[in-house]
């Protein structure tokens, strides 16, 4: 049995959202041991978090730069770190660990600018390190099946890529009411210039690219701030041109009343179409032109053996968000342990930041077409 990976976290203290999800995902995978962390900028919460997570007191650090230095110097130091702070800290934290020779798993968006993402790619390469990015939805078994269906050519020529990610939790100005997650997400100093676009629009774009294997060549984007006083967009509507006649549309919103976590992808080719919704992630609709719609199910009849390692239980027992997250961790672990893993990384993040910046440029420029930087 291979030893588990000695793992650390930056961010993810008590009451943080995604840090706990990362811990659950690693536990589901079973191959990571949390042994160090800098969980919060608040000293008391940092220590309380370390104690709650079972991290030795001397490995709970007051800042991530010290953590990187001390952990790199230890014989039993961490091999990988996950960064789950607000966006503006990702770049400096990722750089500190990569330069210390520690592999990095960063949540999205990897950085607040495209040029920072390119710098991180270079730093990871120079230091021979892995830089993974947790686009967790790509770990869903049915999304992997969708990618395979597209790659096999079953849709024919792809005509339309329709993707949306809509929520309603920012319908009111809750950033003014002390909601911490809303506060940093609507502050351009912490979130970056892209609000809803960088928070969930980037997941939608990444998912569409992952399944189709395509990148948009140019976009025409309209960013709106519906809530008075809000400093960043809370709604994005974009038209995408993928080249070779493939068109698309992306809608991301955090003011879509009645929507919870409605990430949905539809692909339409000249022979067939497919449709997937993250709130019903165990099913994938596949329809050949002129035939009845088929509902394919995770681990069900006809599910490919090559994807069964992404399923933990038989068909009909739902798997979803956490299992997909754990699948990403599992793929990363395989690579860190000397094998190869199929997971999103800095290359994906660069494409996604190019998308974000093209949308911002289009919106700045009267919604004109804006080319993605290659």
Q: Which chain residues interact with ligand NAD by CB under 6 A?
A: 10-13, 16-19, 38-41, 64, 84-87, 89, 107-108, 134, 136, 180-181, 184, 199
Q: Which is nearer to ligand NAD, 103 or 199 (CB)?
A: 199
The 3-state DSSP class for residue 116 equals helix
Cα gap 77→92, rounded to integer Å? 20
First to last CA, the chain: 43
Q: How far is the CB of 49 from ligand NAD (least distance, A)?
A: 8
- Sequence-ordered list of residues with C-beta below 8 angstroms from that of 155, at least 6 positions apart, any chain: 149, 267, 268, 269, 270, 271, 272, 273, 274
Using Cβ positions, the residue closest to ligand NAD within the complex turns out to be 16
Rounded CA separation 269/267 (Å) = 7
DSSP, collapsed to helix, strand or coil, labels residue 367 as coil
For ligand NAD, the closer of residues 74 and 180 by Cβ is 180
Please, which residue, 58 or 366, has the CB nearer to ligand NAD? Answer: 58
For the bound state, the minimum distance from the C-beta of residue 225 to ligand NAD, rounded and expressed in Å, comes to 19
Strand partners of residue 165:
252, 263
**179 in Cβ contact with 318 (< 8 Å):** no
Our CB check for ligand NAD shows the closer of 9 and 150 to be 9
Based on CB atoms, which residue is closest to ligand NAD, 169 or 369?
169
The full DSSP string for 203-226 is: HHHHHHHHHH----SEEEEEEE--
- Tell the smallest beta-carbon distance from residue 40 to ligand NAD (Å): 3
Q: Least distance in Å: CB of 356 to ligand NAD?
A: 12
* Distance of closest approach, residue 13 Cβ to ligand NAD, in angstroms: 4
Residues in a beta bridge with 296 = 284
Strands 80-84 and 294-297: unpaired
CA 27/CA 329 separation, integer angstroms: 10
Kind of pairing, strands 272-277 and 283-288?
antiparallel
Whichever of 270 and 279 has its CB closer to ligand NAD, that residue is 279
| Nearest distance in Å: CB 340, ligand NAD | 23
């Amino acid at each position: 049995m291979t030893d588990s990976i000695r793992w650390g976290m930056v961010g993810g203290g008590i009451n943080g959202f995604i840090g706990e999800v990362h811990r659950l995902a690693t536990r589901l995978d079973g191959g990571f041991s949390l042994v160090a962390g800098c969980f919060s900028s608040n000293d008391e919460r940092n220590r309380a978090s370390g104690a709650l997570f079972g991290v030795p007191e001397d490995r709970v650090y007051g800042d991530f730069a010290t953590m990187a230095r001390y952990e790199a110097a230890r014989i039993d130091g961490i091999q990988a770190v996950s960064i789950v702070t607000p966006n503006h800290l990702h770049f400096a934290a990722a750089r500190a660990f990569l330069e210390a020779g520690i592999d990095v798993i960063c949540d999205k968006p990897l950085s607040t600018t495209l040029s920072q993402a390119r710098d991180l790619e270079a730093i990871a390469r120079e230091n021979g390190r892995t830089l993974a990015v947790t686009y967790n939805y790509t770990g869903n078994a049915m999304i992997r099946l969708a990618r395979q269906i597209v790659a096999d050519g079953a849709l024919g020529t792809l005509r339309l890529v329709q993707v949306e990610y809509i929520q309603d939790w920012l319908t009111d100005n809750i950033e003014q009411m002390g909601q911490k997650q809303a506060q940093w997400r609507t502050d351009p100093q912490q979130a970056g210039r892209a609000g809803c676009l960088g928070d969930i629009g980037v997941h939608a774009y990444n998912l569409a690219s992952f399944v189709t294997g395509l990148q948009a060549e140019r976009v025409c984007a309209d960013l709106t701030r519906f809530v008075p006083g809000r400093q960043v967009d809370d709604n994005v509507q974009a038209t995408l041109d993928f080249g070779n006649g493939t068109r698309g549309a992306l809608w991301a919103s955090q003011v879509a009343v009645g929507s919870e976590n409605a990430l949905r992808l539809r692909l339409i080719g000249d022979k067939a179409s497919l449709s997937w919704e993250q709130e019903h992630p165990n099913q994938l609709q596949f329809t050949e032109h002129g035939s009845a719609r088929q509902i394919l199910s995770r681990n069900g009849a006809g599910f490919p053996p090559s994807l069964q390692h992404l399923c933990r239980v038989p068909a009909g027992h739902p798997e979803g968000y956490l299992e997909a997250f754990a699948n990403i961790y599992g793929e990363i672990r395989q690579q860190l342990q000397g094998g190869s893993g199929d997971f999103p990384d800095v290359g994906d993040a660069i494409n996604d930041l190019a998308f974000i910046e093209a949308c911002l440029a289009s919106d700045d420029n009267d919604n004109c077409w804006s080319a993605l930087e290659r």
